[in-house]
């Protein structure tokens, strides 16, 4: 599920090259190749699937997947699904929509594990931090796109909350790695990136890798708030509200120790390139 998404694409590549016969589901038309068969649909209008598979990988919305899985008759002894660390980081947000996202993520995890019990399926949920690397994420790619248009990028002073951006290839490696590891059955893992750095430094590295590099401007909070209001009025900062700005100053780090211990998780440091923020080619 979500096989044509930013995590699904590199995960399918790993399964394909490992000799798996893969059935992918995408909302958009895709092209088959030997060993890879595409079905068009989504979790609300799922096409006919094989009656039994060795494993199901979900790279799409967790709650919708959990509800589909609960009602489906498909036999699969192994289920690996992606959630998000937003289940925790947005739990106490001042923004109602963000609290709803966090609640849906937690509900999705609970529903998935509950549905697996009577079926005796082994479920693992992976919670990524801030994703990058495929030009399809809603944070760093959006920052890069806006910075290219403006030729600068403003941040409020003190945006020093800690982050662990994680590359899509490391997430695909994680999903593939947990497949046959019994220690991961029935577990939820944070899968952060391999480096802890401040929000400001994360943005600065992103801007520095662009062609040409874009200048970072740090503004006093009152001036930044005025600039943000102007950007919102013109539609250039949609989705960037007060809660998101506040989070820039808060730490959002997670322990990768359990993932390292149980399935050898070894994510890369944050070394962005301009290509990582280019929109994918059709």
Instruction: Indicate which CATH number applies to the domain containing 92.
Output: 3.40.50.720
Q: How many domains does the chain have?
A: 1
Q: What is the pLDDT of residue 129?
A: 97
Residues in the chain, pLDDT under 70 = 1, 230-243, 281-282
In a domain? residue 140:
yes
In a domain? residue 201:
yes
In a domain? residue 187:
yes
Q: What is the largest CA-CA distance in the chain?
A: 59
Q: How many beta carbons lie within 10 A of that of residue 73, not counting itself?
A: 7
Range of the domain at 74: 7-277
In a domain? residue 1:
no
Q: What is the pLDDT of residue 243?
A: 67
Written as six digits, the tokens of 57 are 């990988």
In a domain? residue 2:
no
Q: What is the pLDDT of residue 279?
A: 82
In a domain? residue 134:
yes
Query: Can you give the C-alpha Rg of the chain in angstroms?
Result: 20
Q: What is the pLDDT of residue 189?
A: 98
**HSE-CB of 268 using CA atoms within 13 angstroms:** 13
Do 29 and 83 meet the contact criterion of CB atoms below 8 Å apart?
no
In a domain? residue 249:
yes
Q: What is the pLDDT of residue 158?
A: 92
- pLDDT one-digit tens code per residue, 81-122: 999 999 999 998 888 898 999 999 999 999 999 999 999 999
Q: Alpha-carbon distance 48 to 206, whole Å?
A: 42
Per the document, the length of the chain is 282
In a domain? residue 261:
yes
């Amino acid at each position: 599920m979500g096989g044509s998404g930013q995590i699904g694409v590199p995960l399918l590549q790993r399964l394909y090259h490992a000799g798996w016969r893969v059935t992918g589901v995408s909302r958009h038309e895709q092209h088959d190749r030997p060993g890879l068969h595409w079905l068009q649909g989504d979790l609300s209008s799922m096409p006919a699937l094989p009656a039994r598979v060795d494993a199901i990988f979900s790279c799409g919305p967790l709650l919708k997947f959990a509800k589909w899985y609960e009602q489906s008759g498909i036999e699969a002894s192994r289920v690996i699904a992606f959630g998000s660390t937003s289940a925790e980081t947005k739990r106490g947000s001042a923004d109602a929509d963000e609290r709803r996202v966090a609640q849906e993520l937690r509900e999705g995890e609970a529903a998935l594990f509950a549905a697996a019990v009577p079926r005796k399926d082994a479920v693992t949920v992976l919670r990524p931090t801030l994703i990058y690397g495929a030009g399809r994420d809603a944070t760093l790619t959006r920052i890069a796109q806006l910075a290219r248009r403006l030729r600068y990028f403003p941040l409020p002073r003190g945006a020093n909350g800690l982050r662990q951006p994680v590359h899509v290839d490391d997430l695909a490696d994680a999903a593939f790695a947990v497949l046959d590891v019994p220690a991961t059955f029935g577990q939820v893992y944070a899968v952060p990136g391999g480096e802890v750095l401040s929000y400001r430094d994360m943005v600065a590295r992103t801007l520095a890798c662009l062609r040409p590099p874009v200048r970072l401007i740090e503004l006093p909070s009152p001036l930044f708030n005025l600039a943000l209001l102007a950007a919102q009025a013109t539609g250039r900062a949609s989705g960037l509200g007060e809660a998101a700005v506040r989070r820039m100053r808060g730490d959002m780090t997670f322990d990768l120790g359990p993932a390292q211990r149980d399935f050898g998780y070894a994510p890369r440091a944050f070394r962005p390139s301009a290509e990582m923020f280019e929109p994918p080619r059709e």
